[in-house]
Amino acid sequence: MPLSLKFFYLGHQCPHNSYLLARIKTLAFKEFVPLELHDITDDEETCRKYRIFSPTMLIVNDRYRLHGPFTREKVLAMLQDDDVEPRGYFVDKEVLVVEEMHKAEIHFMQLDL
């Protein structure tokens, strides 16, 4: 079976879309895998054709579907028909949120001086 990737995304409505676009473009380029990109914003026909029900979806080898964020390792495994079972993707945002809150607090305190 030929290797292929199709990535569907809803514009840049989520910060993860930019990361995922960069990740999948890099992976496809380095692994010599054909890649189709589809911005599904206002594209009902494509959504119906591929039965898209989430703001991001990756189809691997026209066989496997990943919804939401994905890792490079997961996609590489799926390209080889390994690790094809669905599983959750953990996004560790707590540290980032705390850092951003701390920066905002410092900025707020500086304004009070």
Residue with the larger pLDDT of the pair 58 and 110: 58
The Cα 5–Cα 28 span in angstroms is: 8
Give the pLDDT confidence of 50-91 residue by residue, as tens digits.
999 888 999 999 999 988 888 899 999 999 988 766 655 455
Taking each helix axis from N to C end, the angle separating 72-79 and 15-31, rounded to the nearest 10 degrees, works out to: 40
Residue with the larger pLDDT of the pair 94 and 59: 59
In a domain, 93, yes or no: no
CATH code at 14?
Answer: 3.40.30.10
Give the pLDDT confidence of 31-46 residue by residue, as tens digits.
999 999 999 999 999 9
Q: pTM score, two decimals?
A: 0.72
Tell me if 61 sits within 8 A of 78, measured CB to CB.
yes
In a domain, 91, yes or no: no
The Cα 31–Cα 85 span in angstroms is: 22
Query: What separation, in Å, do the N-terminal and C-terminal C-alpha atoms of the chain show?
Result: 66
How many distinct structural domains can be found in the chain?
Answer: 1
Query: Taken in order 61, 79, 27, 11, is the CA torsion positive or negative?
Result: positive
For residue 32, the enclosing domain spans: 5-85
Q: How confident is the model at residue 7 (pLDDT cuts 50, 70, 90)?
A: very high
Rg (alpha carbons) of the chain, rounded to whole number: 18
In a domain, 100, yes or no: no
